[in-house]
Amino acid sequence: DGGITQSPKYLFRKEGQNVTLSCEQNLNHDAMYWYRQDPGQGLRLIYYSQIVNDFQKGDIAEGYSVSREKKESFPLTVTSAQKNPTAFYLCASRPRILGIGETEAFFGQGTRLTVV
């Protein structure tokens, strides 16, 4: 089945550690996104990528890093510089739009990161 897969579902991090969250899609989508979800704050954009080997900072990129070496994969690293990393992280993808039109984003099932 086509879809977008995030792993792991739950992740525990010690203070000062870097951790990497995986996001893989087999939908042949060009654009991929990482959002952070905190209670009462909705979804905030961390990074997004429009094409392989290119990505842009979102609204809360500090303390995070990404790479886009393959179209299918957009891993997110939460570095030790992120002071409050405990949150639910969501990855999404969308196809490239040519001409007039719009499509919805497809979301993974999320990774819950907890600092212990």
Residue numbers of the site for other proteins (CB under 8 A)? 4, 6, 30-31, 33, 35, 40-43, 45, 48, 50, 58, 88, 90, 92, 94, 96-110, 112
Our CB check for other proteins shows the closer of 13 and 112 to be 112
Instruction: Rank residues 8 and 81 by Cβ distance to other proteins and give the closer one.
Output: 8
Nearer to other proteins, 15 or 54 (CB): 54
**Contact criterion met (CB below 8 Å) for 4 and 107:** yes
Q: Are 34 and 23 in contact (CB under 8 A)?
A: yes
Q: Which of 6, 14, 2, 12 is nearest to 35 (CA)?
A: 6
- For residue 104, the minimal CB distance to other proteins (Å) is 4
The structure tokens listed for 97 are 């739009």
State the minimum distance, in angstroms, from the CB of residue 53 to other proteins: 15
Bridge partners, 22 (sequence order): 7
